[in-house]
Amino acid sequence: MKKRLWWIFGPALCAGLIVLGLVVVPVHFSTVKSHSLATAAVSLKKNVLVGERLKDEAVQRDYVPFMGSSELSRLDAFHPSVLAQKYHRPYQTLLLGGPGTQSLVQYADNQSLLQQLRGRKVVFIISPQWFTPQGQQPDAFAYYYSPLQTTRWLLGKRGGLADRYAARRLLQMGNTKGGVHQALMNVAAGQPVQGLLRTRLQISLQILQNEEGLFGRHTSAKNQAKIMQSAAKLPFKDNQHQLATLARNMGAQATNGNQFGIRNHFFDKRLGGDKLSDLKGAQAKFDYRRSPEYSDFQLLLTAFAKNHVQVQFVIPPVNQKWATYTGLRSGMMTQTVAKIKTQLHQQGFMHVLDLSRDGNQPYFMEDTIHLGWRGWLKVDQTVKPFLEQRQAPPQYRLNDQYFTKTWQQKLIH
């Protein structure tokens, strides 16, 4: 009878033990191949952002993180990834972001990467549109939520105002459960993560790391193909005059079907027909001057400073013709940008490319809020020397006032 039971249940038991071993015991996975890493770095896939292995390996091979949101997906011929690949720059781009990836997502999903970036460089595109009265949208955060990165963060040395603020914000997003939720409650209350709870998180982290190693490598090659197609349109040599002429010509051809200087395909699909009339004056009450996003942004600044990361910030404009049509107030936008720059400059973040006044330039924007042909080219004129030349070590001066509601609600004139 025992033999019969063994032949019935034994194989299943052995298989279960093998699977359990694969997910619980530390597993060494082979290095990601160069071609696969290049594809993953520009794929903008969620598994790359919420994971850690592909990002960490990319940085170790001198890829430069370009962090932002949906503008990173506009892979026209003058996009940083295209220019870097076409002209064999000494850096390649690691694109991290997507629709809805605001400061809190970037902070929570890049915990392992932020440690790898110590003393390195980053390009960060900070959009004024993030700074709504609500700040980070919970549904977008839920989509990009990374149990792996959150668990890693909780197992670090936690303490201080920044950590308590981060824990409270993560709890407000409403995606945590089990041991992670309890640990966040501890950190938010200024209590340590220790004992059995810490052991549970350590086991969970190992399982999540093994799962990523087994299943997290797969990415799409679609963006890599787009980059190659776009690169083929560029002149053979990296010549600024030729690139500027080509950017103007390509922009003119792509936006000749509407009065806003918006790419024709985008306009026809998103704004054509009756949609346009419904949007006239629709943004007149938009206000980005008061938002919890300013304190979420401070989490990233704190992490950058503590790891001595050199950051080139880019503040993109909005399409001025579109802003006028929708009633978006220029004075409000000016004050929003001034507040962002104040928070940066007063803490020693001096590499800030402010493009907020360039939204009226032809072919600068691809659509209503995203950089286009001449816009990306102007970004490159600052980003290229920042990345290729040695920069003076930053002198950061963090100030906890930027975590307060007083700062979130403060107006800068």
Q: In whole angstroms, what is the distance from residue 102 CA to residue 296 CA?
A: 9
Task: Please report the pLDDT score of residue 11 as a whole number.
Answer: 59
Provide DSSP, 242-285.
HHHHHHHHHHHHHTTTSTT---HHHIIIIITTHHHHHTTTTTTT
- What does the block give as tokens for 265? 């395909």
Task: Please report the pLDDT score of residue 119 as a whole number.
Answer: 94
Element (DSSP H or E) covering residue 313: strand 310-315
334, 356 contact by CB (below 8 A): yes
Q: In whole angstroms, what is the distance from residue 242 CA to residue 238 CA?
A: 8
Task: Please report the pLDDT score of residue 1 as a whole number.
Answer: 58
The number of beta carbons lying within 10 Å of the beta carbon of residue 93 is 25
Q: Using 50 as the pLDDT threshold, list the residues of the chain that sit under it.
A: 17
149, 52 contact by CB (below 8 A): yes
354-386 burial: b if 16+ Cβ within 10 Å, else e: ebbebbebebbbbbbbbbbbbbbbbbbebbbeb
Tens of pLDDT, residue by residue over 165-202, are 999 999 999 989 999 999 999 999 999 999 999 999 99
Task: Please report the pLDDT score of residue 212 as a whole number.
Answer: 86
Strands 92-96 vs 310-315: parallel, antiparallel or unpaired: unpaired
Task: Please report the pLDDT score of residue 21 as a whole number.
Answer: 53
Tens of pLDDT, residue by residue over 238-282, are 999 999 999 999 999 999 999 999 999 999 999 988 899 999 999
